[in-house]
Structure 1
Amino acid sequence: MGEQDSAPRAPVPGADTVPGRVVTEKSAPAAESRPAAGPAPEPGADEVAAAEPDRAPAALRDLVERGVLDETQLTAVVTALKHERPRPTPARLLAEIAAYAGAGLLLSGLVLILVESWDDMAKLGRFVLFALVALGLIVAGVATAGGRSVLLRAAWRSVPDTGHTARTRLAVVLFALAAASVAAAAGSVFDNGDVSGDTTWVYAAGAGLLAAAAGYAALPSLLGLLVCTGFSVALVVGLLDEVFELDDGWVGGGVLVLGIAWIGLTRARVVLEVWAGYVAGVVLAVSGAQTVDAFDGMWPAYALTAVVAVVCFAVYATDRSWVLVLGGAAALTLAAVEAVADWTGDSAGASGAILVIGAVVLGIGSYLLSRSTKTAG
């Protein structure tokens, strides 16, 4: 028996041949012997992805053993860590800065053409010029972003997860410039030379809004949302003021409706940047409500502002966004201050009463919130 125990044993395939080594990560199987001639075959993408959980750090593997993560989640975490974005090199930063500087110079050139040569150029020449510029910007934007495969649905899936890259950020700027060029081209077509009743900019705003919406649908971004918001305001104001020739009260009502529409679109997740969509909607709605004061005194302004506050709180009940609760509180505060000033003629007693009521409501809300938190806990 003693001789049998001291006999050497054959190595087990895949076992660690280094004595005394502490294994902290799950070891990969030992490489099979291969002929000396010729390089080893490279593993495919599927084999690498399948092997990634085996090469996971011991801390992550321990989470799997404790049931915190499953194998699929572990693979996603390891892949995300492996493909972490590298820091941009100085050459890449300079290239990005140069690209943005070129876009700014292009915008400056468009503005100079509009200011200096608009009256000297023929209508057809202006249209062809801006149409070609818009087409070139769209093609450059698609190519810079990486082709059609990264736009539309692919962009709406990838942007929330990984954010914008340097290429897609530049593509967003090109799409915004393309929308401005489309607006200029449309304005050149509908320019009738009538200064007194000029509706050219209304048609330009409509065309720019369509182009900006198409660019945002292709590659959603904060800049694209701002461009869409600006063109939508210009279109609504132009239609009500220039086309239908309504007074300022109706124009303010139109902006109010536009702001509520932006809130609705954001709630329906038509807008990817949720906080920015709500900010645009709340600001437009309050601004529109404040200009509706030409009917009979100032009561429509604070009444509609209070309506905006109610809308914000109602949407907040279904979508917990900090913009909605802060915007609703600000609108309610503004409406209360204007109402008290209108009803009491800036009386100090009424202002003090509003202060006391606000403190009581704040205390009740804080008590109910803390009580609900304790109950839930």
Structure 2
Amino acid sequence: MPARSRAKLDEFLDQWDRLGARGWYRHWLDELAALREDFGWVVGCPGSEIALAPNVSVALASVASALDPGQRGAGTATRNRVITTALDFPTLGHQWLARAPLGVEVVVLPSPDGLSVPLSSFEAAVDERTLLVATGHVYFTTGAVQDLAGLAGICHDSGALLLVDAYQATGLIPTDVAALGVDIYVSGTLKWLFGGPGNAFLWLRPELRESLSPTTTGWFSSARQFDFDVGDLDFAADGRKFEMGTPAVPSSFIARGGISLVREIGVEAIHQRTIDLGAHLIALADAAGLPVRAVRDDTERGGIVAIEAAEPARIVTALAAEGFVVDFRPGIVRFSPAFYNTEQEVADAVSVVSRLLEGSL
């Protein structure tokens, strides 16, 4: 946790203690506006185009409520199909599986190599029945970076939308969201923004945002929210149109602390350092004979390197006992070395894993 995140939380607590509810008008609304600007900076758009959310699931629910799975595609085809992949985070599938009673059909594309899904698979699956493709910028288990421009072209050629979960990219991959050609971009602060849980954001292509109206909403989406008019719903003209209820202000303060660190160092510098550490980890793991599951091309890998293990939870627990904080997913131990880690720390972690897998530790 960045020390500045703790300082930001203390700042909130002091304001709450001194001002009570007056904190909303004296500080907190400004803090939320500043958080939108922070998110905009990270993805290269104005802060006014950002909608705040407590997590990606809520952001997706807002978007899903605005889409019509019964709309017509080319000819008489119904656009009710949502395409995701076996490598994507479950939220991307679950959000649409829950809408099966509304006629949504979810298609899950397999990965031929367990690392990525080729554009050719999307090209074969996307057609006039496709409402949208929902997939990650960087896959959360393998760290593979997707060709979003190529994927956007495939979607748009068939009249489908492209929704991207950027949780494993934001703060790590330099991003100009409009230039990517995507339609919907969601992410949050828990990973590479070092901002903890409780904050996410949503961006929609401005023309798309103007054409959609969410049916799952809250009072922060109102253009005149402080009129407190229960009989009037006039959506905000900017990104707030897709916001929900009262934000969690303490976590917003914490998030701004983490993002300020990213802004100070720069995404480009963080990206280069993280990729170099990942390459170092791969080289050491290869030399130790460990079963690495990772993209070898530095230009196509995010911040994740995985090592296969029959009992990954046990390995993670043992690593924690040695002072290394990593994570596991089915069949793998997931490493995400950050810019502040050292080459020696990476080497020591690989050594511990090697001894664990060979049974000498």
| TM-score, normalising length: structure 1 | 0.23
| TM-score, normalising length: structure 2 | 0.24
Higher relative CO (Cα under 8 Å, sequence separation at least 6) belongs to 2
Asked which structure has the greater CA Rg, the reply is 1
**Structure that is richer in helix per residue:** 1
